[in-house]
Structure 1
Amino acid sequence: MGTVEDLWRALSRLRLADRALDDALDEVTRIAAENVPGAESTSITLIRGDVATTAAHHGDMALAADELQYERGYGPCMDAGRAGVVLRIDDTRTETRWPEYVARVVEVGVRSSLSMPLPYQATTIGALNIYSTRPAAFASDGSVEAARQVAEAVAVAVANADAHAQLGEHARNMELAMQSRAVIEQAKGVLMAQRHVDADAAFELLREASQRYNRKLRDIATGIVASTQDRR
């Protein structure tokens, strides 16, 4: 098990920008498993709306424990992610919260767990989940603090991925807008040549056709341009 210094060193080397989210989260779960005191298997639960999924995991025990919670719609990792609170189970054999879950999770080897919420823009988006086959594996303050630092790294990775996705969507929208403008200009040219009108009158013809047939102006323009190409 690594020291606090090992954890800081590993997190400082973690590259989050310009990287696929699942790849970054896979590395984060490995860092957590190797450096959070008591950790044996780790996972990251992301909650979008009412849907919770395991975005990454290190070790099969964590994935099995997560899925037991998703089946029931509740459990420490889901409750930590939704409520933004740290939830710790010291012994699944004596835990009285989530009775159906703890009765099943013992069967996959979990004796203790720590679920740390993922902070994101004044809310939470899920939880970092850490599991052990030993009871009270995360009773020390060191485990909680180490998990908190890893959770912050996860939140940064998700924020970077969301920002990249938004930039990508903006770029796609800009490209579509440019394509629409180009085809509309082509259609105007066709109408100007066929109807012997100026650019403003040609655009008005397009607009009127769009309203008359209840179709997007871009679609009307595309049809006009296509009709001239068909005649060639």
Structure 2
Amino acid sequence: MAADRTVDALTTTLRSLESVLLSGPSLEDFLLTLAGSAARLVEPSASSGITTYYDGNPRTLVTSDRRAAQVDELQYETGLGPCLHCLATGEIVDVPDLSTDPRWGDYGKRAVEMGVQCSLSVPLMVDGHTVAALNIYGYDQPRSIGPEQQQRALVLADQATSAIGFAVRFVKQTEMAEQLEQAMAARSVIDQAIGVLMGQQRCDANTAFELLRTHSQNNNQKLRDVAAGIITRITGHPPTAPAQFETGNPRDSLSRRSTPPE
């Protein structure tokens, strides 16, 4: 019976992902739904995010919450970590217990200090190329992302890449890049608003993110619109525009940075 409920729940998730993409909203909305669904694969809920290349560097495209962005940013800072390795190599990276995993140098110790117990990174591939990495970070206990959760994540990623591939076939490459750029611009605006709120409210990043999300939900506004309004109102200037999206994949240079030393 438990297995049946798991299958039913996963089927519902996949159908909701398809409906989000095919009903006409932006790729950004679809990826946000994907990140939220991946986070809920683990009980209690984990954090999830999607990493891609932007402006020649790995960047977080969307996240289920602020914690995932912070773990991603730690990897970008150190130049090492499971999501970078997945993005560079196209390999699935399973980290059952981060506290005992010797890979990726200083990243492991610092991530454990942030509360990460385990993680799973799954490549999202289109036409044989890794376009992004779906990352799930577990905080409850080591090995909370077990075989069942891993299998569900793989099915979810497969469904997602099929849907993204469908979008690529029917959307011009320039339009695809524009939508990815819009998603990254939204991420940049949200991060700027978090910084403003942290200074104004004297709070940490997680609290600032929750303030943004609560206001967004209560006022039925998109998170990026709320963030842009806060920045403009407090600073007197609109948000700073990020650099343009870069479709190239600097796989070789990233592979050298993301592969743990011998």
TM-score of the aligned structures, taking structure 2 as reference length:
0.58
Q: In the alignment, which residue of structure 2 is the partner of 1:29?
A: 35
Residue of structure 1 aligned with 2:134, choices 128, 131, 136: 128
The SS at the match of 2:40 is helix
Residues 82 and 167 of structure 1: CA distance in aligned 2, closer, same or farther (over 3 Å): closer
Q: In the alignment, which residue of structure 1 is the partner of 2:119?
A: 113
- 8 Å CA contact 2:49–2:63 kept in 1: the answer is yes
- 8 Å CA contact 1:25–1:157 kept in 2: the answer is no
Q: Measure, in 2, the Cα distance between the counterparts of 1:48 and 1:66.
A: 14
1:8 aligns to 2:17 (yes or no):
no
Q: Measure, in 1, the Cα distance between the counterparts of 2:122 and 2:59.
A: 15
**What amino acid is the match of 1:13?**
S
Taking only aligned residues, the RMSD between alpha carbons, in angstroms, comes to 2.5
**What amino acid is the match of 1:3?**
T
Q: Measure, in 1, the Cα distance between the counterparts of 2:69 and 2:135.
A: 10
Residues 66-97 of structure 1: CA distance to partner in whole angstroms, max 9, x if unpaired?
11111122210111122111111122211100
**What amino acid is the match of 1:145?**
Q
User: What is the aligned-residue identity percentage?
Assistant: 33
Residues 75 and 3 of structure 1: CA distance in aligned 2, closer, same or farther (over 3 Å): same
Residues 155 and 36 of structure 1: CA distance in aligned 2, closer, same or farther (over 3 Å): farther
1:143 aligns to 2:146 (yes or no):
no
Ranked by relative contact order (alpha carbons within 8 Å, sequence separation 6 or more), the top structure is 2
**What amino acid is the match of 2:122?**
M
The SS at the match of 1:93 is helix
Where does the alignment leave 5 or more consecutive residues of structure 1 unmatched?
170-232
TM-score of the aligned structures, taking structure 1 as reference length:
0.64
**How many pairs were matched up?**
168
The SS at the match of 2:74 is helix
